[in-house]
Amino acid sequence: MSPTYRRAIPLFALAMAVAIALTVLGGTATWLALAVDGALAAGVLAAAVGWGTWPAVWLGLGRRPALQQVCAAAALGLGVLSTLSLGLGVMGALNGPVAWVLLAVGWALGVWRVARLHGQPLAGEQHDRALAASIAPLLIVAVLLLALVVPLAIACFGATLPPGVLWAGENRAYDALEYHLEAPREYYDAGRIQFLPYNVYASFPQQMEVLYLLLMHLAGGSLAGAIPAQLLHALCGVMAVLAMAAWTPRGPARVVVAVLAGSTPWLAYLGCLAYVELAMLLFAAVAAGLVLDQVKGEWPCNWRTALAAGLCAGLAGGTKYTALAFVAAGLGLAWLCTMRAALPIRVRRLAVYAGGVLVAFSPWLVRNAAFTGNPVYPFGYRWLGGAAWSAEQDQQWARGHRVPAGSDSVAGRSLAVWHELFAARMFGPALFLLALCGLVRARDRVAVFWTVWLAVIIAAWATLTHMPGRFAVPSVIPLALLAGSAVPSPVTWRDLVQRGPAARTAACRLAAFMLVAAFAGGVANSATLDGLRREEDRWWGRHGVPLRALVGRTDLLAQVQPLNRALPADANAWVVGEARAFYLTPRVHYTVVFDRDPWLTYAAQAAPAQAVAWLRTQSVTHVVFSWSEIERLQRSYGFPAFVTRDWVQRLGAAGLRRIALPDEFDATDLDIYAVAPD
């Protein structure tokens, strides 16, 4: 067997094991979904690499190792593709043919770059040949990578399930059905990207959501684009792990990082959903790698590298506002503390980095300024104002995103840190323990860099958010790379497999311990993930539908939606309480809890007859009350207290006629009323 084929043994073994696990989990339906929807998601990622490969070259990254080039191109290219789609969408020029042209151009640019590289030696090729010279190290790597089988299989399987199926801990992908997919769906239906005054979350940065819109155009429909959107998010998680590995020294340390980061339960868990955290992780990992090179002094620190790092950090902010603090500011502060330069030089380099952040994030500032008059809408309302927002809503937003009163103290927040980062096991104890080993062993500038960044992430997460665990996902990067730094760099795979005194040195023993501990941590993480998957399977089994029967069936979830079955096709329904509108096919008007519902605002001071008359002025044919959501929101984020069943009964006497629902509907949860003609 030639060295070229030998190098592929670990990846081939991993791919075969994942294929077997996927077949067990989902059967042929999963493979059919991956063949169609997965091809679309992979096509978008490949086009992004093509779009990003030339900016990467212009930014001085063309001589880096191949894996670093690919990861940097993917990050920059996703930003380019998203920005182009945003601009075209705002102009109303984004459609199916244009979407395919964007992909075709990206593929062509990628092929052109590969052709230019043909015949050139790749950095690291000599090391790869040395690794492949003996079969034993490759077999060890193959065995260690098997710790990633369950996370990869669950991520692929879960991403082929319709949005809203997984997970109980995320309220069945509530956020995806409310805005991550719902906002792109509304843009798709309207033929353009526009301001949605009833959905404040649609005014958040939408680096990934615009790519979901692109996929909807490629797939020919909003429902058809939902599973490709989930698969693209999962692919971003894979690329994030590859980026972490790319900036880790080759050898045992790289495997430790890949196994620890790739098996972190949060990654596979979120990879099943059309969320944004894994894209943020990819952008953050590439930005961190570029800054790391400057801290280590391995590559020249010029303005191009600083700009590239800033662009990637800004793209992370484009996925989620919190990344501006966690990634952009956190990396900048860590770099400032560890840079090998005088203070004036540090300031100049960080100014270029900050300029890159601003350039990459600016499309969302411009969009919000044009739509609402406030570039950071809905934040900063007291200074910048904002359309369809008020001081009352600003206060409600602050209350709704605050740590509960009983936990809003140093002790309470510390307890939340313990619960979300450690006790919940969604990061895995091995990640923290091995990162601690790296900190104790390394004690160098690089360890300080990772530690400062990690401290900023945790501090910002604990003080600026209401502390959901998934918001702290960027901490996986410094933790995993700290753990990798515990592996002595002189140790090679040959050192670990040879016999004799050299194999029994302290460095080899430490490297072997780290590999075994990382593998054990990966197995434990796999058990955590599989336990969550089994809970979901049992829950759906109690409802008579095993998970594998739902693969690819977004149409089925649309069919079983109560409103789709109870409302006429030409209905114009006003939905009160419920905001998960992604599957609702009739015309519906919903309002996110933090936005002002114009009907409820008017009805609060109006007589029942006037409230019903207002609906007629808006051509509303039906009103829907989702009582479970109304009562939940009244207990949590705040919802008009006058909206009660007694109030609705008074509306019934003023012109609302209740529609009798079939027996299979939960009559205690849903009330549908027809608006009687005047």
Residues in Cβ contact with 208 at an 8 Å cutoff, skipping those fewer than 6 apart: 82, 180, 232, 233, 236, 275, 276, 279, 319
| pTM given for the model | 0.96
Q: How confident is the model at residue 504 (pLDDT cuts 50, 70, 90)?
A: low
State yes or no: pLDDT of 502 exceeds 70.
Answer: no
Does an H or E element contain 242, and which? helix 226-246
pLDDT tens digits for range 376-410: 999 999 999 999 999 999 999 998 888 877 778 88
Q: How confident is the model at residue 5 (pLDDT cuts 50, 70, 90)?
A: low
State yes or no: pLDDT of 628 exceeds 90.
Answer: yes
Q: Are 177 and 583 in contact (CB under 8 A)?
A: yes
Lowest-pLDDT range of 72-86, 250-264, 293-307: 293-307
pLDDT tens digits for range 580-589: 999 998 889 9
The predicted model gives 93-109 an average pLDDT of: 98
Rounded CA separation 246/238 (Å) = 12
Residue whose C-alpha is closest to residue 677's, from 630, 633, 631, 612? 612
The predicted model gives 186-193 an average pLDDT of: 97
State yes or no: pLDDT of 313 exceeds 70.
Answer: yes
Q: Please tell me whether residue 208 adopts helix, strand or coil conformation.
A: helix
Backbone φ and ψ for 424, nearest 5 degrees, come out as -70, -15
Q: Which of 348-357, 400-409, 440-449 is most confident?
A: 348-357
Backbone φ and ψ for 657, nearest 5 degrees, come out as -110, 120
Looking at the chain, the whole-number percentage of residues with pLDDT higher than 70 is 95
> What average pLDDT does the structure give for the chain?
92
pLDDT tens digits for range 47-71: 999 999 999 999 999 889 999 999 9
Classify residue 587 as left (phi > 0), alpha (psi -120 to 50) or beta: beta
> What pLDDT score was predicted for residue 586?
83
Rounded CA separation 241/286 (Å) = 10
> What pLDDT score was predicted for residue 126?
53
Q: What is the 3-state secondary structure (H, E, C) of 584-598?
A: CCCEEECCCCCCCCH
Domain ranges in the chain are 3-116+137-539, 561-675
State yes or no: pLDDT of 189 exceeds 90.
Answer: yes
Lowest-pLDDT range of 164-173, 226-235, 556-565: 556-565
Q: How confident is the model at residue 148 (pLDDT cuts 50, 70, 90)?
A: very high
Rounded CA separation 365/317 (Å) = 11
The predicted model gives 347-353 an average pLDDT of: 93
Q: How confident is the model at residue 9 (pLDDT cuts 50, 70, 90)?
A: confident
